[in-house]
Structure 1
Amino acid sequence: MLKELSIKNYALIDELNVSFVKGLNIITGETGAGKSILLGGLALVLGKRADLGQIKDSSKKCIVEATLEIAGFNLEELFKSHDLDYDDEVFLRRELLPSGKSRAFINDTPVRLETLNAIGSKLIDVHSQNQTLQLTDESYLFSIIDSISGNAVILNEYQDIWNQYRILTRDLEALKLRQKEDLKRRDYNAFLLEELNEIKITPGQLVEIEEEHAQLENAELIQHHLQFAMQVLSNEEIGLIEKLKDVKRNLDEIAGFSSNYEQINQRVISAIIELEDLASDIYSQESEVVLDPHSLNEVNQKMQHINTLLMKHSVNSLDELLEIRLEFKKEFELTNNLEERIVTLEDELVRLKSGLNQLAKRLSDNRLKAAPVLGRQLEQKLQPLGMSNAKFQIELLSLDQLSSNGKDGLSFKFTANKGSKFNDLKTSASGGELSRIMLCLKSILAQYTKLPTLIFDEIDTGVSGEIADKMGEIMKSMSRHFQLMSITHLPQVAAKGDVHYRVFKEDSGEQTLTNIKELDQAERVQEIAKMLGGVEKFDSAILHAKQLLN
């Protein structure tokens, strides 16, 4: 249960501290007094999104703190699932900083806002006025039937698999779209890859091809110069080798006169040997020079093909061209793998769908049992609330397609009068009737779901008199099992409270502030008398208020 609530620097609240008790807590106040501000502050500490415009003084931070007693509600696993230590008393804190940032804490441990919201939603259920319209929402009605039918565990398992199924379905659609696009490009890319595969050379071989091209294209010139070199070196009359041999013969005659002459002679011999070897190499090279127009044409075509591909793919080197070829090969491999991945995903989806269908059947079976039970319980609880002829027709509709709820649709029809035909709840129930139906639903749900605190924000709108008194009795009965807080304008409901708080505005200097006060018995009489509208006949209103309280 909510033990304490503290709000600082929020809307019209400067600083507010209030303690609550077990049982039925009543909150009243004139329209515009600030009851919605109180709920707004509570929503912040339960993890709802913040409106920074609600900070009262933008130069200071806004702080909302709540202390709750949660022993006996089996919430240990909830805290463990969020990696938080469990304690029978939990402390929630929310801070809105002037910078616009927000901080959240659970038992002084910093947490993400999503964590605060996940924990807070299991601690306090705030039923606002507009939530009565949820009665016309199929997903909300399903949540009621599933709570009554005990479907929580099955539904969690189903929705886990359903989320996997949706993700894989989306992935499969993306793969099939990619495959379709790839197949459109496949023929053209295959042609490009075939062109690139014709380049049966490596980057190092390109240098050899370029040399071969240069040699074939300049064969006559190369041959001419090599022959000239041979002539200069090896001519029998004027060649360098013959001239050096003449030098050697002359040096042979003086080599014995000095070691210096001998060294010179040896060097000449070495030069002759080197030149003879050089001449031999030049002769070999010259003999290999071939005037081959056919080979030249082949090399020209190969070079032209490479250059054409370089231009076609907008690259400057063979390395880049070969990299493109590698990318094409990888793309083809991926395209081929797509089919395998698609088949794998399809098999997995078949498996998941089978599991979903089995769980959906179990959900449906349980709902079929719970739907008439819910209808009967509602009819019984509405009888003392002036709706003795109310009847419900709650039917499950079998659907062909799976959804997040299983394979069921829901028909929730209602009639308030004998002899009237059943119609959809949203078109056949008045605002006051919807309020009473919602209260009865909450009362029924309280038997199946455990929450430390339930807050009704004017759930009794649209009713009065004896009906209001009966609604107050239902709330009183509910509060025996958990803490119930009711914001109300009805004196009949207010009189049923174990404790009564009044929200009011007061002027403080140059500003108007919202505050809350716990009323003693005398103050309760005064407050309920005002709610009875006893302005002119205040004495009789006082007597009526005392009767209600007694």
Structure 2
Amino acid sequence: MLQQLYIRNFTLIEELDIAFNRGFSVITGETGAGKSIILGAIGLLLGSRADAKQIKMGADKCIIEAHFDLSQYDLQSLFDENDIDYDVHDCIIRREVNSNGKSRAFVNDTPVGLNILRELGVNLVDIHSQHQNLLLQKEDFQLGVLDVIAADRKLKEEYQLSFKAYKKVEKQLQQLHEEIEKTKENEDFLRFQVNEIEQAHLEEGMQEELEQESETMAHAEEIKSGLYFADNLLNGDEAGLVQQLKQVSQSLQSIEKVYPKVKELCDRMNSTYIELKDISEGISGSIDGIDFDPIRQEEINDKLDTLYSLQQKFHVSTVKELLDTLMNFKQQLHNIEYGEEELSVLEKEIGRLQSHAENLAGRLTISRKEAGMQVEREMHNRLIPLGMPNIRFKVELLGKSLSEDGADKVQFLFSANKSTALQPVAKVASGGEISRVMLSLKAMISNAVKLPTIIFDEIDTGVSGWVAEQMAQIMYEMGESGRQVICITHLPQIAAMGTTHYRVSKRETQQGTTSHMVSLSQKERILEIAQMLSGNDISDAAIENAKSLLRIRI
């Protein structure tokens, strides 16, 4: 429920801070006074597009903030999923628009994106304006009405999961068909490419080994010269380092008995001698392994040329990527050889999933047919008191191919006269008739589910007098049944039925035009409704008439 609305520097509103009550509230005011501005501000809170032109002239930014009571709605999971603090009795939504056109949104002081704002807004406020009457042209809206009345949410969710699984496997089958057809055309070329790569006898790491061996062979003389020089320093005649270290070690060992302190040095020298001797042997062994072999060099170059050529051909840079390419080609050949078996498996799975989805869709159709009969009865009963004594309203349910919302195509058919054939409601109903149809639908839906705060804007288009009173009675009853209903109206019959009455007016100041909104007292309501009845020159008769209208609710 909307509890409080605060607006600052939004179009003609300098500052507005007003509380809203439960039940049925009405908003009145002259054309252009700013009623649509209030709706625009609430729309921003629900995630509509921001525009710097909405900021009041001379201000740097505008702020719209609203407090909601969430106790009637199960919304905690939405807050938890988006890591937003949850206060069931006071949810604060704020939107700020800066002069550069950029905006920020907050829910309970947590910054949020417009997608979250819109998702939350759908659950909090339903604004019914004239453009929403166009929903009667949309099949998904009409189908949604049936599903609400049928209360088949769980069944519909189960169907949608089944349908998605069916379409997923169907897509896999189509892709496999396309792959098989494509690879069949290129089968010979694929086999040639597989053979070409396999002949290279690829192994991971071979490229690095071959390149290193090629580098070593290219510098064989230089390497061998360096090894010979090192070996000569270590082992050359009796002056070699290895022999000298051996002599040092033996010298220290000879005095160890008479000079025990030298034992540690002797051990360290002996370890150094052993290590150096091992290094020396390693160098000597390496010398034997370094030789320039022109035949081996040519063999290495051939292998590397083959590698580089394959990498260039298949647009890769490593042996691993070439092996991956080979596996891909082999998989395509496998699909050709064994594809028919896989196609058969997928086709059987599709048949099973399709059968399951069709079964669930059939159950949906049954529930929708039952809901359709209920809608026909209720709409008939609701529209007759709204000035349509000859109303005929039919829910036409036709079959269609399986889709995300089932296998049903729905149309609301309408005729206000006995002699007029039933036609789609959006094509034949007048503006006033459509307003009454939509109000009746909303009232019917509100009895089936917990609708959020409902705001009716010009729902009274094309009606007056006794019909307006009946429409007001419907909205009043919706409000009395625990819902918050707010109606922007120009009709005194509707205004008189509100449990709370707000008036929007504009004033001319030196700074420009400003718009204001106030809650009216009982005396102020009488004058406001009298003015709606007779214009600016309020007569005694108009005042008595206003009092009479207000007693309708008492």
Report the Cα offset of residue 402 of structure 1. Answer: 0.9
Task: Indicate the structure (1 or 2) with the bigger Cα radius of gyration.
Answer: 1
8 Å CA contact retained: 1:310, 1:321: no
1:23 alignment counterpart: 23
Report the Cα offset of residue 164 of structure 1. Answer: 5.1
8 Å CA contact retained: 1:384, 1:470: yes
Deviations 1:439-466 (A, max 9, x none): 1111111110113421111111110111
Cα separation, partners in 2 of 1:346 and 1:67, compared to 1, 3 Å = farther
Deviations 1:159-208 (A, max 9, x none): 34445555665566556545554554443233233234334586668999
Q: Aligned runs of 1:214-293 on 2, under 5 Å?
A: none
1:353 alignment counterpart: 354
1:332 alignment counterpart: 329
1:218 alignment counterpart: none
Cα separation, partners in 2 of 1:329 and 1:200, compared to 1, 3 Å = closer
Deviations 1:186-232 (A, max 9, x none): 432332332343345866689999xxxxxxxxxxxxxxxxxxxxxxx
Report the Cα offset of residue 7 of structure 1. Answer: 1.4
8 Å CA contact retained: 1:58, 1:98: no
User: Are 2:450 and 1:450 aligned?
Assistant: yes
Q: Aligned runs of 1:284-323 on 2, under 5 Å?
A: 314=312
1:467 alignment counterpart: 467
Separation of aligned partners in 1, 2:349 and 2:357: 12
Cα separation, partners in 2 of 1:97 and 1:321, compared to 1, 3 Å = closer
Q: Say which SS state the counterpart of residue 447 (structure 2) adopts.
A: coil
2:373 alignment counterpart: 372
Could you list the runs of 5+ residues in structure 2 that have no partner in the other structure?
Answer: 215-287
Separation of aligned partners in 2, 1:346 and 1:65: 56
1:534 alignment counterpart: 535
User: TM-score scaled by structure 1?
Assistant: 0.74
1:270 alignment counterpart: none
Cα separation, partners in 2 of 1:334 and 1:98, compared to 1, 3 Å = farther
Separation of aligned partners in 1, 2:437 and 2:406: 26
Report the Cα offset of residue 15 of structure 1. Answer: 1.7
Report the Cα offset of residue 67 of structure 1. Answer: 1.0
Cα separation, partners in 2 of 1:58 and 1:453, compared to 1, 3 Å = same
8 Å CA contact retained: 1:504, 1:514: yes
8 Å CA contact retained: 1:79, 1:119: no
1:406 alignment counterpart: 406
Q: Say which SS state the counterpart of residue 66 (structure 1) adopts.
A: strand
Separation of aligned partners in 2, 1:445 and 1:328: 59
Alignment-mate amino acid for residue 353 of structure 1: Q
8 Å CA contact retained: 2:197, 2:326: no
Alignment-mate amino acid for residue 464 of structure 2: S
Deviations 1:279-322 (A, max 9, x none): xx9xxx9xxx9xxxxxx9xx999988986896687479xx9695
8 Å CA contact retained: 2:51, 2:97: no
Could you list the runs of 5+ residues in structure 1 that have no partner in the other structure?
Answer: 210-280, 290-295
Cα separation, partners in 2 of 1:119 and 1:314, compared to 1, 3 Å = closer
Alignment-mate amino acid for residue 514 of structure 1: S
1:216 alignment counterpart: none
Deviations 1:462-482 (A, max 9, x none): 101111111111111111021
Cα separation, partners in 2 of 1:415 and 1:499, compared to 1, 3 Å = same
Separation of aligned partners in 2, 1:59 and 1:100: 13
Q: Say which SS state the counterpart of residue 119 (structure 2) adopts.
A: helix
Q: Aligned runs of 1:6-45 on 2, under 5 Å?
A: 6-45=6-45
Separation of aligned partners in 1, 2:191 and 2:422: 66
User: TM-score scaled by structure 2?
Assistant: 0.73
8 Å CA contact retained: 1:70, 1:452: no
Alignment-mate amino acid for residue 127 of structure 2: V
2:548 alignment counterpart: 547
Q: Say which SS state the counterpart of residue 88 (structure 2) adopts.
A: coil
8 Å CA contact retained: 1:151, 1:363: yes
Report the Cα offset of residue 542 of structure 1. Answer: 2.7
Separation of aligned partners in 1, 2:411 and 2:537: 50
1:435 alignment counterpart: 435
Alignment-mate amino acid for residue 335 of structure 1: Q
Alignment-mate amino acid for residue 53 of structure 1: K
1:273 alignment counterpart: none
State which drifts further: 2-11 or 42-51: 42-51
Report the Cα offset of residue 82 of structure 1. Answer: 4.9
**Aligned-pair Cα RMSD in Å:** 3.8
Q: Aligned runs of 1:39-438 on 2, under 5 Å?
A: 39-56=39-56, 60-77=60-77, 79-80=79-80, 82=82, 85-98=86-99, 100-163=101-164, 165-166=166-167, 169=170, 173=174, 176-177=177-178, 180-200=181-201, 314=312, 325-335=322-332, 349-399=350-400, 401-438=401-438
State which drifts further: 75-84 or 27-36: 75-84
User: Are 2:497 and 1:496 aligned?
Assistant: yes
8 Å CA contact retained: 1:95, 1:104: yes
2:506 alignment counterpart: 505
State which drifts further: 499-508 or 484-493: 499-508
8 Å CA contact retained: 1:379, 1:388: no
Percent identity among equivalent residues? 39
Report the Cα offset of residue 529 of structure 1. Answer: 2.4
State which drifts further: 171-180 or 401-410: 171-180
Alignment-mate amino acid for residue 549 of structure 1: L
The count of residues paired between Structure 1 and Structure 2 equals 465
Deviations 1:138-167 (A, max 9, x none): 111111111111112222333344455556
Report the Cα offset of residue 404 of structure 1. Answer: 2.0
Alignment-mate amino acid for residue 390 of structure 2: N
Deviations 1:32-77 (A, max 9, x none): 2222221111122223333343233586333211112232444455
Separation of aligned partners in 1, 2:135 and 2:422: 19
